[in-house]
Amino acid sequence: MTTRYESLDAIRGVAVMGILAMNIVAFALPFPAYGNPAAGGPPTGSDVATWFFNFVFVDSKMRGLFSMLFGASTLLVIDSAATAGRSAAGAHYSRMFWLAIFGLAHFYLIWFGDILFLYAICGLILFLFRNLSARALLLWAIPFFLVGIGLHTILWAMMAMAQAGALPPDAAAAMQEALRQMNADMGPSTPVYAEEKALYLGSYASIVAHRTGEMAGDPLFFLGLFLWETIGLMLIGMALFKSHMLTGEWEAARYRKWAIACFLVAAAPLVGLALYQMRTGYDAVSVFGATIALSVPFDTLMTIGWAALIMLLIRTAASNAVRARLAAAGRMAFTNYLVTSVVMTTIFYGYGLGLFGSIGRLPLYLFCFGMWAAMLLWSKPWLDRHQYGPLEWLWRSLSRWQVQPMRKRFPG
């Protein structure tokens, strides 16, 4: 029987809650606002302050933590299959196949911000690294990060040069369409803002038609954008699991030391990148450079710092009851992630309460608090009576091509 690590489940629970803090803007506002507080026009002071905090401490960090934990969990699933005498490769690749199907269904039918398809494709590659030591996994993570950062940095530099008129005429002309598209996606006061607001206040049929039409290729686009970084993060997660950091086995002082060091090193550069975007008036080139390319090393360091801080708090500050609630939310992370998409789109989209585009950044976190409370309240009672979350059960049954037992059996 594979060991169940409560600390790993608990930090996964924090991560699935934290990823909503990152995604709430994309649920409730047009996508250009996700990285740009001026996308819909001059931002308020509270909008800027909320964006600033989010950029430095939340954006990419919760996705990074979720990705690292996916890498760690992959090792557990592979070990469980091998211990049970099943094919580790067969179990893993079957899970990734169905995860990709879930991800595409999530993207086209529920919400465009899906991360599951990306994880499934990264998982196909991740299996090849399963037997490496923690040190080897960290060494392999480096080239993945370098390729991703390098490609995005080159693109950002070319855009910045084109914007400044520093490219030869032929090259500059070729970059104009890319600049136009970037301004539409990330620029201040973009007309796309009003277009998306009208779209998502429309009917469910019109939204799905848009995703299956104009946005049909977006899962592959986001795969190309984040593949290298995500594999790097997953490899780090595997390394941290093998070094016992994510299983709660380090001394509290070691977690404290790592958390302080990572936050101290990462915070100043991220503050600098936030100020750089503000000084340029949040123009698209600066937002792209700061968000997609230049922040990645510091986002990764702060993600590790978050992991250390959360593990420290789980070990030293959380009561047994709180740990149990967080661990249950983490064991049901797949269900909680997808249910969150259903709840949030129903609240904000036109086929639900129709609040899309009408609430500022700061008040949006009230919806986060409500959803977090729901996860903590319902996950443990469900798992007290069932072996898996409902969608974990479905994923497991499909992956094994056999209906799995759901309810727990109690003596008597």
Which of 88-102, 157-171, 308-322, 371-385 is the least confident region? Answer: 157-171
Give pTM, 2 decimals: 0.95
Where is pLDDT greater, at 47 or 168? 47
pLDDT band, very low/low/confident/very high, at 1 (cuts 50, 70, 90): very low
pLDDT at residue 256 above 60? yes
pLDDT at residue 3 above 70? no
**Token couple for 164:** 């400044």
Share of the chain above pLDDT 70, in %: 98
pLDDT band, very low/low/confident/very high, at 201 (cuts 50, 70, 90): very high
How many CA atoms does the CB half-sphere of 275 hold within 13 Å? 6
Residue 161: its pLDDT value, please?
A: 86
Which of 74-78, 125-129, 160-164 is the least confident region? Answer: 160-164
Range 376-385 average pLDDT: 97
Residue 299: its pLDDT value, please?
A: 98
Range 6-16 average pLDDT: 95
Q: What is the pLDDT of residues 258-292, one digit of tens each?
A: 999 999 999 999 999 999 999 999 999 999 999 99
Residue 411: its pLDDT value, please?
A: 67
Q: What is the pLDDT of residues 155-193, one digit of tens each?
A: 899 888 888 877 777 777 777 777 888 887 889 999 999
pLDDT band, very low/low/confident/very high, at 84 (cuts 50, 70, 90): confident
Q: What is the pLDDT of residues 37-46, one digit of tens each?
A: 999 999 999 9
pLDDT at residue 412 above 60? no
pLDDT band, very low/low/confident/very high, at 5 (cuts 50, 70, 90): confident
